């Protein structure tokens, strides 16, 4: 994968003639094959580290930014270049979906061993297409407004588990704009007519901020632009909307977000982009958590000093949990405490960090309360119920609240953990496995959604070769870090 430092990519401008969907390495049509392309075993013994980890971890680009850039590039007036984009199941499916709608996406050759850049050439949006969303909210919620601009119907479907994800607010918004829609969740069909009048639409986006982002990304292509108004309970994941607004402005789109819960996008031609994708800070959270639960030190190069990524909140969160967090010119360093502190946090805006934060909290000195995350019930799985069940399987105590979790540290033991086809549950399980020997994850391959080579990166961080990590992870069950003892219990975590 790519090194996310701040220097420009040295990939040259020669096209390799590897158009999206033509080469097997770039075609995610067979979703199951794509998910398991890294040849990862179905069950994965999570590496255990009885000593502090100390590593530098280079991470590839942000999924959230990559998929937003891809959409805007496909709608732009001329070709765009994405430098060091993330290649994961979600981004490859997005690229394939945009190709099916008429865009051309080519790899550019690299002479430095880096992952290739992408060259995106927009084309007329065509209908009679089928889009596989996988389990990606960014596809199922960003692309229906784009499909409305196509010249014919576009069918959306995805993984069976995706059929339960909320879609109603976004689809009803399109209906209100005069777009033909069949269905209220996956599978559904958008009846593209080649144009959308635009105007104003009011929706309740309390289940996902992606409904707002999806409308805004396409709104500049509507005849009269678009005004989006949120009316309803508190809007989650606000940083993701800020990210959408920022990338739109980078592409020359006039966006007015001066009024809370109201966004106005003026009709205009979207400018081409030439951007380097920031490293994925939400993926980085799991690696930084390794320092927190082992008393170690992790450095992530390329951490941006300004970013709209929700994952940047991990700096404040891990500081509150007792870590030493240092942001330098070129990297972020987290040094873990002897044992993490319990916290009371409102994670409403950064809900995607909840699984990793919950894993650290399960290993803390004192109880933690994670609030403002009722919307996680509608993510890849019901993350609140999943975290309670799986931390409970290790012997922990997690109480599900109406809008969050109450985590009370208890002595933990090894167990086989379910991941629920949820990449964040994989990362949470890996964090727990560092401190608790004998943890096995039932479907680590699902992490390909955002970081296909996560197991290799994780075991390299711990200091083991990926090939024999499984043999070593379950050994020495009596080894414990003394700092993880539950005070007064006479037992150890």
CA–CA dist 245, 226 (Å, integer): 13
Domain that residue 49 falls in: 40-61+278-484
Burial class (CB in 10 A: 0-12, 13-18, 19+), 265: buried
Q: Please tell me whether residues 209 and 293 are part of one structural domain.
A: no
| Residue 213, marked binder | no
Q: Just list the catalytic residues.
A: 352
The reply to whether 347 falls in a domain is yes
Same domain for 192 and 293, yes or no, is no
Based on the fold, state whether residues 250 and 347 are members of the same structural domain. no
* 355 inside domain: yes
Q: How far is CA 362 from the centre of its chain?
A: 22
The answer to whether the annotation marks 63 as part of a ligand binding site is yes
Query: How far is 252 from 273, CA to CA, in rounded Å?
Result: 10
Instruction: Give domain status of residue 9, yes or no.
Output: no
Does the annotation place 338 within a ligand binding site? no
Q: What is the pLDDT of residue 28?
A: 38
Give the CATH number for residue 131: 3.65.10.10
d(CA 119, CA 476): 49
pLDDT at 41: 65
Task: Give the domain-ending residue among 246, 276, 306.
Answer: 276
Among residues 276, 302, 320, the one where a domain terminates is 276
Query: Do residues 131 and 191 both lie within one domain?
Result: yes
Stretch 31-50: mean pLDDT, rounded? Answer: 68
Asked whether residue 68 is marked as a ligand-binding residue, the answer is yes
Residue range 425-478, pLDDT digits in tens = 999 999 999 999 999 999 999 999 999 999 999 999 998 544 344 443 444 333
Query: Is 49 labeled as ligand-binding?
Result: no
Domain check: are 285 and 194 in the same one? no
Which tens digit of pLDDT belongs to each residue from 104-151?
Answer: 999 886 655 456 899 999 999 999 999 999 999 999 999 999 999 999
Average pLDDT on 388-400 reads 98
Which of 224, 250, 276 terminates a domain? The answer is 276
**Average pLDDT, rounded, for the chain:** 87
d(CA 322, CA 327): 16
State the total domains in the chain. 2
Is there a domain that residue 394 lies in? yes
In our burial notation (b when 16+ CB lie closer than 10 A, e otherwise), range 213-237 reads bbbbbbbbbbeebbbbebeeeebbb
Cα-based angle 449, 135, 250 (whole degrees, multiple of 5): 70
Rounded Cα gap, residues 142 and 150, in angstroms: 14
Question: In terms of domains, do 89 and 225 share one?
Answer: yes
pLDDT, residue 40, reads 59
The token pair that represents 364 in the structure block:
């803390």
Per-residue pLDDT for 30 more than 80?
A: no
Q: Which is more confidently placed, 472 or 488? A: 472
Same-domain check for residues 323 and 418 = yes
In a domain, 97, yes or no: yes
Q: Are residues 83 and 230 in the same domain?
A: yes
pLDDT of residue 380: 77
Residue 402 located in a structural domain:
yes
Domain shared by 294 and 238, yes or no: no
Same domain, 318 and 451: yes
Residue 195 assigned to a binding site: no
User: Is 237 annotated among the ligand-binding residues?
Assistant: yes
Q: Is 331 annotated as a binding residue?
A: no
Domain-embedded: residue 28: no
Count Cβ atoms below 10 Å from residue 418 Cβ, excluding itself: 17
Angle between helices 423-435 and 354-361 (to 10 degrees): 20
Note whether 110 and 9 are within 8 A (CB): yes
Give start and end residues of each alpha helix (H) in 49-136: 63-75, 89-100
Tokens linked to 217: 């990304």
Report the 10 Å Cβ neighbour count for 413.
16
Residue 336 lies in a domain: yes
Q: Which of 453, 326, 347, 448 is nearest to 407 (CA)?
A: 347
Q: Are 363 and 376 in the same domain?
A: yes
Whether residue 288 sits in one domain with residue 149? no
Lowest-confidence pick of 148-152, 169-173, 375-379, 471-475: 471-475
pLDDT digit string (tens) for 290-302? Answer: 999 999 999 999 9
d(CA 487, CA 493): 10
Query: Is 258 annotated as contributing to ligand binding?
Result: no
* Both tokens assigned to 238: 């606000």
Question: Is 36 marked as a binding-site residue?
Answer: no
């Amino acid at each position: 994968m790519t090194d996310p430092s701040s220097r420009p990519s040295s990939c040259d401008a020669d096209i390799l003639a590897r158009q999206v969907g033509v080469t097997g390495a770039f075609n995610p049509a067979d979703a199951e094959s794509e998910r398991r392309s890294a040849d990862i075993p179905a069950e994965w013994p999570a590496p255990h580290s009885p000593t502090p980890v100390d590593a530098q971890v280079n991470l590839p680009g942000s999924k959230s930014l990559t998929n937003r850039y891809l959409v805007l590039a496909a709608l732009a007036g001329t070709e765009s270049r994405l430098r060091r984009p993330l290649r994961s199941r979600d981004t490859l499916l997005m690229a394939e979906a945009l190709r099916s709608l008429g865009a051309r996406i080519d790899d550019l050759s690299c002479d430095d061993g880096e992952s290739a850049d992408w060259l995106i050439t927009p084309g007329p949006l065509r209908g009679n297409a089928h889009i596989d969303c996988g389990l990606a909210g960014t596809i199922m919620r960003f692309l229906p407004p784009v499909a409305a601009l196509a010249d014919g119907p576009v069918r959306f479907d995805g993984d069976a588990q995706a059929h339960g994800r909320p879609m109603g607010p976004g689809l009803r918004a399109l209906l209100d704009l005069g777009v033909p829609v069949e269905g209220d969740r996956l599978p559904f069909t958008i009846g593209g007519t080649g144009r959308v009048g635009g105007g104003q639409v009011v929706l309740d986006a309390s289940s996902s901020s992606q409904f707002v982002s999806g409308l805004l990304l396409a709104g500049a292509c509507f005849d009269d632009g678009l005004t989006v108004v949120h009316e309803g309970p508190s809007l989650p994941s606000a940083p993701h909307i800020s990210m959408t607004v920022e990338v739109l402005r980078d592409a020359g789109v006039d966006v007015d977000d001066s009024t809370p819960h109201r966004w106005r996008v003026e009709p205009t031609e979207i400018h081409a982009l030439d951007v380097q994708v920031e490293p994925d800070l939400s993926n980085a959270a799991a690696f930084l958590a390794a320092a927190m639960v082992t008393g170690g030190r992790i450095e992530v190069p390329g951490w941006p000093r300004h970013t709209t990524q929700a994952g940047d909140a991990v700096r404040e969160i891990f500081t509150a949990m007792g870590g030493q967090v240092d942001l330098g010119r070129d990297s972020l360093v987290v040094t873990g405490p002897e044992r993490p502190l319990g916290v009371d946090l409102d994670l409403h805006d950064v809900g995607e960090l909840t699984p990793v934060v919950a894993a650290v909290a399960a290993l803390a000195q004192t109880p933690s309360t994670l609030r403002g995350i009722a919307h996680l019930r509608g993510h890849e799985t019901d993350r609140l119920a999943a975290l309670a069940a799986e931390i409970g399987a290790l012997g922990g105590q997690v109480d599900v609240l109406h809008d969050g979790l109450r985590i009370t540290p208890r002595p933990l033991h090894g167990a086989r953990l379910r991941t629920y086809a949820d990449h964040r549950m994989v990362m949470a399980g890996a964090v727990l496995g560092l401190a608790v020997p004998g943890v096995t994850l039932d479907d680590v391959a699902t992490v390909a959604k955002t970081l296909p080579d996560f197991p290799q990166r994780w075991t390299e961080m711990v200091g083991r070769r990926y090939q024999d990590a499984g043999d070593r992870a379950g050994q020495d069950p009596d080894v414990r870090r003394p700092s993880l003892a539950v005070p007064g219990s006479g037992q150890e975590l």
